[in-house]
Amino acid sequence: MIEIEVKVRIDHEAVIPLLDEIGASFERKEHHNDIYYNAPHRDFSMTDEALRLRECNGRSYLTYKGKKMDAISKTREEIETPVIMSDMQNILELLGFTESGNVRKVRQIFECNGFTVSLDSVEGLGEFMEIEIMSDLNIDYYRKKIFELVELLGASSSDSIQRSYLEMLLEIQN
């Protein structure tokens, strides 16, 4: 599947009333602890890929994200599967994968006309909004609709951030 996603920095107190106004429904709150890995055979920071092990509200997932497909959003292939955290960490380490960073965040998830709107409070970075949909079809159409929703929620398409939270955190650390 292709994850069609746009991320912007935004004040959550300002956007929550706008979500209410357009009929978005609150779904749930999640606590994410994301550990990113780098491969022994290629550098994911150079290939624009990501391998993430996520612990979320007592469950764990391994996610591969492919290269971004454009320069204005974070649209890319995504494959995710449930795993047992400690077993997957052992497997990755035995295969030579190394940790490249950790991202902790609290995510409030809303549903709005088939799109997922996530309000992220990222430790060390601040507040963001991600709007996404998963699809293998009509990628340009959905990207356009996401940018329309971004505008409705008080941000501009020019505010779109292509960098991952990990990239932003590593930039601050260096």
Phi-psi region of 23 (alpha: psi -120 to 50; beta: other; left: phi over 0): left
CA distances from 8 to 23, 118, 153, 170 (A): 20, 11, 11, 18
Task: Go through 48-85 and write b for each residue having 16 or more CB atoms within 10 A of its CB, e for each that does not.
Answer: ebbbbbbeeeeebbbbebbebeeeebbbbebeeeebeb
CA 77 to CA 106: how far, in whole Å? 24
Q: Which two tokens stand for residue 82?
A: 């449930």
Residue (of 95, 94, 101, 5) closest to 53 by Cα position: 101
36 annotated active-site: yes
By annotation, the residues acting in catalysis are: 36
